[in-house]
Chains A and B, each alone.
Chain A
């Protein structure tokens, strides 16, 4: 059974001759928090707009909650909530009226749900305030409350922590986790603040210049970003052969410029240098390297990461 709530095949969006998205194959598994990583202009918002039906694809297919085709997607979108680029509201309406408006639009009966969402997102105390008087952070909360109204199975949020203060970011992060764990809502989250994304996402998709260059689980990414030791030495092949025999549990990778990278080292740097000295191979450089998500993304963009 297909467990993807979002799947795209060769999804392309061009504006004139400019390809904003180029044959993107995205896979968002049910129940996960998917972090969409990319620079400004990488295509994150375009991808989310295509999924939300705000734009139309030039080429390719979208499968949303197992449905495809124009009618299928319209049906599937009734079970999704989204906030793309910035929350939408009528400046002259109050927070409460805005949520009531969206309740009616989504066919949610009564005002109970609006109240519940105001409590959940922490905007209840502002219910009588006009939307135009809200701060950016409060607008983001209102946007999330509106997105959550129809009991969505899928949430798509574009840069949701923009404008939130540090405590707001913490609350938002824990709210996303709760929604994901308690209500089993799949969340597709885009951000260029990678350190934030790193704290909530289970799986990442890296977008660069309109192309999805990699999808990777958080676990695998953690392995790839873990500490490693890079040793520079003249006879790299000899050292690698002895290394493999001596430390069969360690994994390594040979890099250009006579470098060997020991991934997740299980011994100290001195142990590895002693091995070289025992074989009369003279080390010319040695360093401990730790990659952050930012480093990983930058390396990936430059095509330097082992995939």
Chain B
């Protein structure tokens, strides 16, 4: 598995995909802050560090989606190009390939996230006035809260694109798991308290208004404000990661490579 991971790392460093994605995220970040800075005469309420940080603090699932996009770019072409067949043919088990892909995607996504976040914070701090209810501490404490959930989301994406023959099916199933099923649970929760409580553990509900969270220009109440809340985020992400890793092992262990 170590050799497989090393080879994947070599590939990532010698191809342009990761540089392009990270570069795009960084450019968008800088452009966003420059535009906000330039428009401060028109909308001074929004030209603040608070509003800038609230974009990320109010939408933690953005981190999960960004990780998924990176995973998609790294591994979507694997089956089409047939590279995974070569890995299997040189005696690397499916489980090790899957585990290697999970770890490499997570490492690559973490690097991209850290770089983008650094640029986000520096450009916000340099260009915008430090006012409003959302502080840098909210953003920094969001990272441990969302990290495992993002990992679960990324592993789920990897399972979906590896298991389903068509990429579009994989993406649809991923969307169903992460966004539609939580809504269905929430609607079902109107009739059953147990279902409602379960729905609140699912990430897209965990970070929503239904869980009593408000991040706007006047207040900032996040899911990870309290110790209990933070633990709930970490537990939700940890359980999710475990579930999707196990699903991946079960589904991909004996999967024929077409």
Contacts and interface: CB of A to CB of B under 8 A. Distances in A.
B15 interface: yes
Nearest to B82: A88
Given A56-B256, A106-B3, A78 B91 contact: yes
B81 A89 contact: yes
Contacts of B15: 90, 92-93
B11 A52 contact: no
A102 B86 contact: yes
B190 interface: no
Nearest to A150: B90
A74 B11 contact: no
Nearest to B17: A92
B251 interface: no
Interface stretch (A25-33, A79-87, A113-121, A298-306): A79-87
A218 to B, nearest CB: 27
A183 B155 CA distance: 43
Contacts, number: 86
B45 to A, nearest CB: 45
The interface centre, meaning the residue of A53, A73, A146 with most chain B CB atoms within 10 A of its CB, is A53
Contacts of B254: 56
A90 B75 CA distance: 11
Interface residues of A, number: 36
A12 interface: no
A194 B198 CA distance: 63
A28 B11 CA distance: 36
Given A74-B91, A74-B93, A92-B15, A104 B85 contact: no
Contacts of B88: 52-54
B16 interface: yes
Interface in B1-33: 3-4, 6-7, 10-11, 14-17
Contacts of B90: 77-78, 80-81, 102, 105-106, 150
Given A74-B93, A75-B91, A104-B10, A92 B256 contact: no
B10 A100 contact: yes
A100 B197 CA distance: 52
A262 interface: no
Contacts of A89: 81, 83
Contacts of A82: 89
Nearest to B2: A107
Find the residue from A55, A78, A100, A104 having the highest chain B CB count within 10 A: A104
A97 interface: yes
Interface in B139-153: none
B89 A84 contact: yes
Contact of A91 (B4, B81, B85): B81
A234 to B, nearest CB: 58
**What DSSP secondary structure best describes chain B's contact surface?**
helix
A76 interface: yes
Contacts of B85: 52, 54, 84, 88
Given A78-B91, A80-B89, A101 B11 contact: yes
Contacts of B16: 92
A86 B257 CA distance: 13
A101 B82 CA distance: 14
Nearest to A51: B89
Contacts of A52: 85, 88-89
A54 B3 contact: no
Interface string B124-166: 0000000000000000000000000000000000000000000
Contacts of A88: 81-83, 85-86
Nearest to A89: B81
Interface in B75-124: 77, 81-83, 85-93
B47 to A, nearest CB: 40
B156 to A, nearest CB: 24
A93 B81 contact: no
Interface of B: 3-4, 6-7, 10-11, 14-17, 77, 81-83, 85-93, 254, 256-257
What are the 10 closest A-B residue pairs judged by CB atoms, nearest first?
A88-B82, A77-B91, A105-B7, A52-B89, A78-B91, A104-B7, A55-B256, A54-B257, A74-B91, A88-B86
